[in-house]
Amino acid sequence: MKNFKEFEQRISVVFKDIHLLQQAFTHRSYLNEHKHSALKHNERLEFLGDAVLELIVTEHLFEKYPAYTEGDMTSLRASLVNADTLSEVASALGMNDFLLLSHGEAKDTGRARRYILANTFEAVVGAIFIDQGYAVVRDFVAKSSFHLLDEIVAKGLWTDSKSLFQEKAQEIVGVTPLYKTVREEGPDHDKEFVVGVYLNTTKVAEGSGKSKQDAEQSAARAGLKAKGWE
59 is known to lie in a ligand binding site:
no
Residue 84 among the catalytic residues = no
6 is known to lie in a ligand binding site:
no
Neighbour-count burial for 127-157, b at 16+ CB within 10 Å, e otherwise:
bbbbbbeeeebbbbbeebbeebbeebbeeeb
Nearest to 127 by CA among 57, 47, 70: 47
Q: Which member of 6, 8, 17, 50 is catalytic? A: 50
Nearest to 31 by CA among 21, 18, 41, 43: 41
Residue 227 CA to residue 205 CA, distance in Å, equals: 9
Q: Which member of 122, 131, 192, 206 is catalytic? A: 122
> What is the DSSP track for 34-59?
-TT-S---SHHHHHHHHHHHHHHHHH
Residue 50 among the catalytic residues = yes
119 is known to lie in a ligand binding site:
yes
Residue 165 CA to residue 177 CA, distance in Å, equals: 8
Long-range contacts of 141-144 (CB under 8 A, 24+ apart): 141/53, 141/56, 141/57, 142/56, 142/60, 144/11, 144/89, 144/92, 144/93
Q: Binding site: residue ranges?
A: 46, 119, 122
Q: Binding site for Mg(2+): residue ranges?
A: 46, 119, 122
Where in the sequence numbering do the catalytic residues fall? Answer: 50, 122
